[in-house]
Amino acid sequence: MRIAMISMHTSPLEQPGVGDAGGMNVYIINTARQLARRGVTVDVYTRATRPSQGEIVEVEENLRVINVIAGPYEGLAKEELPTQLAAFAGGVIEFVRCRQGLAYDAIHSHYWLSGQVGWLLRDLWDVPLIHTAHTLAAVKNAHRSEGDTPESEARRICEQQLVDNADLLVVNTVDETRELVAHYDADAAKIEVVPPGADTELFTPGTHRNTELSRRHLGIPLHAKVVAFVGRLQEFKGPQVLLRATAEIFERDPHRNLRVIICGGASGASASSSTYRNLAGELGLANRVRFLDPRPPEELVSVYQAADIVAVPSYNESFGLVAMEAQATGTPVVAAAVGGLPIAVADGETGLLVHGHDPAQWADALEQLLDDDERRIAMGEAAVGHAAQFSWAASAGRLAAVYERALAIELPDCQGRKAQG
C-alpha cells in the first residue's frame, strides 16, 4: 500500500511548539513512522520553507517527506496560505508526473488547507480521500477565549466541503464525532475514531536523580514545587490562564515555594512571546516564571520530569498530546475539561479536570495537588499505566485498517459527485 499524506501548512519535521508546528506535527510523523514500519509506503507532501531542505527527505525506510515549492520560502503567514493552494497542488501533480510509475492507493490529508488539495487530487487520481481535521473552525469559535480572534467563515465553508466530499473522516475521539455531526451535519457512518498515542519508550518516568538533574539544567530550585506548561504561546492554549492562576496562588500565600515553567514559542500572526513575559511581569511573577524555548522531544522529557504538575488550560483540544506525554513520564496533569482532554486525563486518578478557565478555579485545583504530596505522587504513578494504553503503533494499526476500508469503497462516478459548497 502506498499513501500520499498531505500536510501543506507545516512539515512533520518541524520543531513542535514553534510557529504553526504543534500536536499535528507530532501526530503525522509518529503515525507515518509506525505505518512505514508496518510495510506501508508513505510520502508526506508539505510546503518548502527553506531551500536547504532539498526536495526529498528520506526519513526512514518506506517514509519520505517531499518539500513542494509554493510561494516564498519565508514571510508567508498561515492565513495567507490559501493563495498558494493551486501552486502547491500543481507542485504535487508535477512531482508525481515526473516519476513514471509513481501512484498512490489513497490520500490522507491533515487540516483543512491540505484537505482542499487532497480533494482535488482525489478526483484527479481517482483514489479515496481520508481527511483528518485536527481542529475545526466552528468548534474553535464556540470555545475561544474572549480576546481570541475568531476563525473565518471561509475556513468553515472549506471544512464543510471536506466533510461532504471526503470518503472517510478520521477523528481522535468520540467527542469529535459528535462535534462533526452537530456543527457540520457529518454522516457518522463515514467517521472513524483513531486515538493518538505517546512515545512511551521516550517519555518515561524519571527517578529522583533525574528530577534533580533536570531542575539543575533548567535552573529551577531543587526544593520548589514546579508547574509546567508546554505548547504554543497563544490565547487558545491558555498560558495566560496559568499565569493568572499562579498570581492568585501567591496572593493567597506570598511565601509559597512555587515556580512555573512556560515552554513554547509564539504562534499566530499577532502572537508574541513578549505578551506572556509582560503579563508575568505585570502580575508580579517575573522571578517566579521561567520561559523556555521550544525543544525537541528528546529534551522535552526533562521538562516533564522536572515538573510536579503539568497544566493544560486549553480552550479546546482534539485529544491532548502534551497531557499524554506528561503522564507517560509520571507527572500528573491539571487540564481543562474540554475536547478530548477528559479521555487523555483520568479525572481524580491521573490528574484533575477543571470546568472553565477562571483563574481562581485553576488556583484551587493546582493547590489541591501542590499541597497533597501523597495524592500527587499516587496520581503520577497511575498516570504511567494510563498512558501505556495509548501508543503510536496502535494508532497506526487502526489507521491501516481505515485505509483498507477506504480502498473497499466504490468511488462515485461523475454523476455521483456532491456539489461544492
CA distances from 201 to 61, 102, 162, 166, 393 (A): 20, 35, 36, 34, 12
Q: Which of 106, 309, 299, 148 is nearest to 237 (CA)?
A: 148
> Is 316 known to sit in a ligand binding site?
no
pLDDT in tens, 192-202: 999 998 888 89
> Is 198 known to sit in a ligand binding site?
no
Indicate if 208-388 has the same CATH topology as 2-197+392-407. yes
Pairing of strands 129-132, 168-171: parallel
Length of the chain: 421
> Is 295 known to sit in a ligand binding site?
yes
DSSP string, 206-272: PPHHHHHHHHHHHT--TTSEEEEEES-BSGGG-HHHHHHHHHHHHHH-TT--EEEEEE--B-STT--
> Is 23 known to sit in a ligand binding site?
yes
Q: Which of 359, 26, 356, 42 is nearest to 202 (CA)?
A: 26
CB atoms within 10 A of CB 141: 18
Tell me whether residue 168 is exposed, middle or buried, using C-beta atoms within 10 angstroms of its C-beta: 0 to 12, 13 to 18, 19 or more.
Answer: buried
Pairing of strands 63-68, 56-60: antiparallel
* Spatial separation of the C-alpha atoms in residues 229 and 154, rounded to whole Å: 32
> Is 237 known to sit in a ligand binding site?
yes
- pLDDT for residue 364 is more than 60: yes
Do 352 and 334 form a contact (C-beta atoms < 8 A)?
yes
* Spatial separation of the C-alpha atoms in residues 205 and 211, rounded to whole Å: 10
208-388: CATH architecture: 3-Layer(aba) Sandwich (3.40)
| Topology adopted by domain 2-197+392-407 | Rossmann fold (3.40.50)
- pLDDT for residue 417 is more than 90: no
Question: Which cell goes with 193?
Answer: 475514531
Average pLDDT value over all residues in the chain: 92
Q: Where are the domains of the chain?
A: 2-197+392-407, 208-388
> Is 25 known to sit in a ligand binding site?
yes
* Spatial separation of the C-alpha atoms in residues 323 and 196, rounded to whole Å: 12
> Is 276 known to sit in a ligand binding site?
no
Tell me whether residue 378 is exposed, middle or buried, using C-beta atoms within 10 angstroms of its C-beta: 0 to 12, 13 to 18, 19 or more.
Answer: middle
CB atoms within 10 A of CB 334: 24
Give the per-residue pLDDT at 134. 92
pLDDT in tens, 311-346: 999 998 888 899 999 999 999 999 999 988 999 999
> Is 14 known to sit in a ligand binding site?
no
> Is 287 known to sit in a ligand binding site?
no
pTM of the model: 0.81
pLDDT in tens, 366-381: 999 999 999 999 999 9
